[in-house]
Chain A
Amino acid sequence: MAAPMQCGVETQSSESSMSLKKALTAVSPLTLRIVAECPVTKARACELALPHCTVSTPVFMPVGTQGTLKGITVDQLESLGCQICLGNTYHLGMRPGPELIEKANGLHGFMNWKRNLLTDSGGFQMVSLVELSEVTEEGVRFKSPYDGKEILLSPEKSVSIQNSLGSDIMMQLDDVVSSTVSGPRVEEAMHRSIRWLDRCIAANKNPDKQNLFAIIQGGLNAELRRACLEEMTKRDVPGFAIGGLSGGEEKDDFWRMVTLSTDHLPREKPRYLMGVGYAVDLVVCVALGCDMFDCVFPTRTARFGSALVPWGSVQVKHKQYAKDFQPIDPDCQCPTCKRHSRAYLHALFKSDTAAMHHITIHNISYQLSLMRSVRQSIVEGRFPQFIQTFMRRMFLSRDQYPSWAVDALASVNITLE
């Protein structure tokens, strides 16, 4: 297959050699600088330079599916220290549509977010909205839930929409299969994803401003994963995502696929583990070598009154908190914890939507603070100790530690005390 530097050079015309020269001298829209590597685990702390600003990794990226982060203003999000968040191609492609967003100066202009944006390709909706979709070599045919119209999301269409959205990182359209499915469909999807990756690369109109990431598939089958890794790493993409996981599979299979993937991904490119967001999962997967994460869980669970804390969660709507006058977490520095008590939030849930916003702010703060602490410990060479402390805080006793986490960490030389 094509060697890395060959992207975009197909003929020997003077035009294309001019553009090759241009490409070589232009500033890359993504640069990864590795600041520190954990000598014990596979963790790294990096600086990821992207068009809108530099992102410190490991990083958790909050999800703002429809061009908004559920009740939080962009100012509030910025104040929490968020440097990159997500938007979704499928949803935004439907409403309000790429043409309108282009008119609004891209998704950045439309939602007035000045930092980085990552857009998902719409692939995951294939799984989540499987009743409404049909996959062929061409693409995914969806029946719109809004007006019943049929739409074809092809690699070209997905990239075209993402070009209109103007995100800093775009995801290839992958053939996504639920991680609970096995058999020939998984292999078919893996091979198709490679072909779709090539089509996405070719379709990208803005390679100098938008970074297209590949997504490694292969389900829970080590051989298929390896094959996918071997092929996809031959393409010169700025970053790789590990996909097809975090969907309900056994955690024991999950972590093995994650670590297998990071073993075969280039060191100097970012690794994005899609759909991972529980605190324990984040810490373990950082240890396994992942740099970037996203998940709807923290923001979704907030709206149900579930506040995330270092020892689990505080279900603010439960009766037991009606007279609890402490903040959600006395050590938390977020605006919610600095001003409000569990009791007030408990009461407010019955009266106003603002209660949800308070918890959303807290949960985003929790996730971002967690990653900052993780990063700092890697930089200071004490990530292994951080993991020990983290686990002790999160679980009541050693025998409560999830066995998959114990095994995963053992695989990178961490023996949990």
Chain B
Amino acid sequence: MHLELTRVVQGSGRLGVLRGLSRTRPHHSLETPGCLLYTHLGSVPHLTQDTLHTLKDLPSVTQVTLSDIAEHQEVLESFKEGFRKFAGLHDTVLYCSLHDPAALCPAGYTTNKKCTQPDWYTSMADGETWQVNTTRKRVRKSVDRTLAHLDECLLLHHKLPELEEVSVFGVVEGGDIVDERLRSARETAKRPVVGFCLDGFQTGFMEPSVRAQLIAAVTEELPEDKPRLLPGVGRPDEVLACVEAGVDVFEGFFPFQVTERGCALCFRFDVTPDPESAGRAPPAVLELNKEEEVVRNGNVNRDDQTQMTPFEINLKDKRYEDDFGPLVKGCGCYSCQNHQRAYLHHLLVTNELLAGVLLMIHNTSHYLGFFKALRAALASDQLELLKRRVMEAGGRESD
């Protein structure tokens, strides 16, 4: 695996293409910054292959979590042909992550990678340092343990022929202590890993500004040509901040969270200047103070992740009862091309299963569109413009 960088702007992020993702599927590549395809046991939530493939330009990497796999380890061992075939996956690269980013409780398991046969995975890590007031001693231990796990893991790769085709991502720990973060980064970089997973930065774990600084410091210590994956961060504003700090790959769980609360993503990400408003005062910027307060209090409020964000509309709201427009005007996804807000409203009010299907399709489409726009903005020096556009309040209400 190697990252071909096409553009690097200090403090603004990197643009590139990740190639050699899979030794058995060499034709796949992932444009960065990019996101992975989030699944539950290989299925994008609510979707069958038919509904999934109404989406164009799906991420070439499918993410499945370790806990999903571990639960079915015995079955996979009987099956013998690997997880990809077991799940009836389409032609995709398989990445096995440690945690389910959309689940509230992190969990760790030991499992045998042989029966899963992913293309890459993150090595075992000790990330239990998200509580405020975690001592320096505890954080140091987590860095040490994680490195030890990595070394064990790499040894296994050396020994077992079945793991020859499988790549390992090292995990950078260190909580919110700069020295430990730097130590973890430097030490992990010494090992023959194909990329880095920056753990412990999940939404809600620390203040966004602290996170940005720490990530920037960490990425300074990492080799330029290896990808940086940031789990647990999905909100568009946070993605933008983390791209600027040097992150390349994100998990794609955010559309699922939005779907589960009956909402549709609608934030704008087009950066072509609007002739109507060019020259006028910029529209109001979204108020983020309320959400930041929660983190400042020192309590990690993981419930953050289930609350509505400013980037979506709540279709259960009565105002959409007779709104016969698409979820988002101009959106080419199956849901917007075939259905109306009023119908989605009805499906949600009556608790119908189709709501989840249609919302998942739209939210995934919208989110992938955002990443595409992000890459285009980086290519043409328009990141600032994109940031402003994404944060526009009132962008939500445009019809």
Q: How many angstroms from the CA of A116 to the CA of B353 in the assembled complex?
A: 22
Q: Which residues of A contact B43 (CB under 8 A)?
A: 348, 351-352, 354-355
Interface positions of B from 49 to 95, Cβ below 8 Å from A: 49-51, 54, 68, 71-72, 74-75, 78-79, 86-88
Q: Which residues of A contact B342 (CB under 8 A)?
A: 96, 100, 104, 110
B114 to chain A, nearest CB (A): 17
A154 to chain B, nearest CB (A): 24
| Most B C-beta atoms less than 10 A away, residue of A66, A352, A358 | A352
Answer whether A96 and B46 are a contact pair too, CB < 8 Å, given A71-B354, A72-B354.
no
Q: Interface code A65-86, partner B: CB below 8 Å = 1, 0 otherwise? A: 0111111111110010000000
Q: How many angstroms from the CA of A150 to the CA of B187 in the assembled complex?
A: 72
Among the listed A351, A356, A358, which residue makes an inter-chain contact with B40, where contact means beta carbons less than 8 Å apart? A351
Contact A68 B352 (CB under 8 A): yes
Q: Which residues of A contact B41 (CB under 8 A)?
A: 347-348, 350-352
Contact B354 A100 (CB under 8 A): no
B316 to chain A, nearest CB (A): 13
Among the listed B54, B78, B321, which residue makes an inter-chain contact with A100, where contact means beta carbons less than 8 Å apart? B321
Is A217 positioned at the interface, with any CB of B under 8 Å from its CB? no
| Most A C-beta atoms less than 10 A away, residue of B48, B49, B339 | B48
A155 to chain B, nearest CB (A): 26
Q: How many angstroms from the CA of A353 to the CA of B47 in the assembled complex?
A: 8
Q: Which residues of A contact B50 (CB under 8 A)?
A: 75-76, 79, 335
Q: Interface-forming stretch among A35-43, A281-289, A336-344?
A: A336-344
Is B338 positioned at the interface, with any CB of A under 8 Å from its CB? yes
Contact A347 B75 (CB under 8 A): yes
Contact A66 B350 (CB under 8 A): yes
B341 to chain A, nearest CB (A): 11
Contact A96 B340 (CB under 8 A): no
Answer whether A70 and B75 are a contact pair too, CB < 8 Å, given A344-B86, A351-B41.
no
Answer whether A67 and B346 are a contact pair too, CB < 8 Å, given A343-B86, A347-B41, A354-B47.
yes
Q: Which residues of A contact B17 (CB under 8 A)?
A: none
Q: Which residues of B contact A264 (CB under 8 A)?
A: none
Q: Interface code A90-106, partner B: CB below 8 Å = 1, 0 otherwise? A: 01000110001001100
Q: How many angstroms from the CA of A70 to the CA of B322 in the assembled complex?
A: 22
Q: Interface code B318-354, partner A: CB below 8 Å = 1, 0 otherwise? A: 0001101000000000100011101101110110111
Interface positions of B from 19 to 55, Cβ below 8 Å from A: 40-51, 54
Interface positions of B from 350 to 368, Cβ below 8 Å from A: 350, 352-354, 356-358
B142 to chain A, nearest CB (A): 29
Interface positions of A from 333 to 390, Cβ below 8 Å from B: 335-336, 339-341, 343-344, 347-348, 350-358, 361
Answer whether A339 and B49 are a contact pair too, CB < 8 Å, given A68-B352, A71-B353, A344-B87.
yes
Q: Which residues of B contact A76 (CB under 8 A)?
A: 48, 50-51
CB closest chain-A residue, reference B47 = A354
Q: Interface code B174-207, partner A: CB below 8 Å = 1, 0 otherwise? A: 0000000000000000000000000000000000
Q: Which residues of A contact B338 (CB under 8 A)?
A: 73-75, 112
Contact B49 A335 (CB under 8 A): yes
CB closest chain-B residue, reference A336 = B48
Among the listed B46, B74, B78, B354, which residue makes an inter-chain contact with A68, where contact means beta carbons less than 8 Å apart? B354
Q: Which residues of A contact B68 (CB under 8 A)?
A: 351
A352 to chain B, nearest CB (A): 4
Answer whether A103 and B354 are a contact pair too, CB < 8 Å, given A348-B43, A351-B43.
no
Is A132 positioned at the interface, with any CB of B under 8 Å from its CB? no
Interface positions of A from 107 to 124, Cβ below 8 Å from B: 110-112
CB closest chain-A residue, reference B79 = A325
Q: Which residues of A contact B79 (CB under 8 A)?
A: 323, 325, 343
Q: Which residues of B contact A111 (CB under 8 A)?
A: 343
Q: Which residues of A contact B48 (CB under 8 A)?
A: 76, 335-336, 354, 357-358, 361
Is A322 positioned at the interface, with any CB of B under 8 Å from its CB? yes
Q: Which residues of A contact B87 (CB under 8 A)?
A: 344
B72 to chain A, nearest CB (A): 5
Q: Which residues of B contact A340 (CB under 8 A)?
A: 88
B373 to chain A, nearest CB (A): 27
Q: How many angstroms from the CA of A353 to the CA of B354 in the assembled complex?
A: 10
Q: Which residues of A contact B345 (CB under 8 A)?
A: 96
Q: Which residues of A contact B346 (CB under 8 A)?
A: 66-67, 95-96, 110
Contact B71 A350 (CB under 8 A): yes
Q: How many angstroms from the CA of A95 to the CA of B346 in the assembled complex?
A: 7
Q: Interface code A306-340, partner B: CB below 8 Å = 1, 0 otherwise? A: 00000000000000001101000000000110011
Contact B343 A104 (CB under 8 A): yes
| Most B C-beta atoms less than 10 A away, residue of A66, A73, A96, A112 | A73
Q: How many angstroms from the CA of A347 to the CA of B44 in the assembled complex?
A: 14
A104 to chain B, nearest CB (A): 6
Contact A323 B40 (CB under 8 A): no
Contact A70 B352 (CB under 8 A): yes
Contact A322 B49 (CB under 8 A): no
Among the listed B40, B72, B357, which residue makes an inter-chain contact with A357, where contact means beta carbons less than 8 Å apart? B357
B60 to chain A, nearest CB (A): 19
Q: Which residues of A contact B88 (CB under 8 A)?
A: 339-341, 344
Contact A354 B350 (CB under 8 A): no
CB closest chain-B residue, reference A76 = B50
Contact B86 A353 (CB under 8 A): no
Q: How many angstroms from the CA of A323 to the CA of B73 in the assembled complex?
A: 11
Q: Which residues of B contact A96 (CB under 8 A)?
A: 321, 342, 345-346, 349
Answer whether A343 and B75 are a contact pair too, CB < 8 Å, given A100-B322, A104-B324.
yes
Q: Which residues of A contact B321 (CB under 8 A)?
A: 96, 100
Contact A322 B75 (CB under 8 A): yes
Contact B334 A353 (CB under 8 A): no
Q: Which residues of A contact B353 (CB under 8 A)?
A: 68, 70-71, 353, 356-357
Q: How many angstroms from the CA of A358 to the CA of B357 in the assembled complex?
A: 12
Q: Which residues of B contact A358 (CB under 8 A)?
A: 48
Q: Which residues of A contact B75 (CB under 8 A)?
A: 322-323, 343, 347
Among the listed B86, B324, B343, B354, which residue makes an inter-chain contact with A70, where contact means beta carbons less than 8 Å apart? B354
Q: Which residues of B contact A112 (CB under 8 A)?
A: 338-339, 343
Contact A73 B51 (CB under 8 A): yes
Answer whether A353 and B343 are a contact pair too, CB < 8 Å, given A103-B324, A347-B41.
no
Q: Which residues of B contact A341 (CB under 8 A)?
A: 86, 88
- Chain B residues with a Cβ under 8 A of chain A: 40-51, 54, 68, 71-72, 74-75, 78-79, 86-88, 321-322, 324, 334, 338-340, 342-343, 345-347, 349-350, 352-354, 356-358
Q: List 11 A-B contacts (CB under 8 A).
A: A68-B352, A69-B354, A70-B353, A75-B54, A75-B334, A103-B324, A104-B342, A110-B342, A339-B49, A341-B86, A344-B42
- Add 7 more A-B contacts to A71-B352, A322-B75, A354-B48 (CB < 8 A): A95-B349, A96-B321, A96-B349, A112-B338, A323-B79, A343-B75, A352-B43
Which 6 pairs show the lowest CB-CB distances between chains A and B? A71-B353, A352-B40, A351-B40, A339-B88, A351-B41, A354-B43
- Chain A residues with a Cβ under 8 A of chain B: 66-76, 79, 91, 95-96, 100, 103-104, 110-112, 322-323, 325, 335-336, 339-341, 343-344, 347-348, 350-358, 361
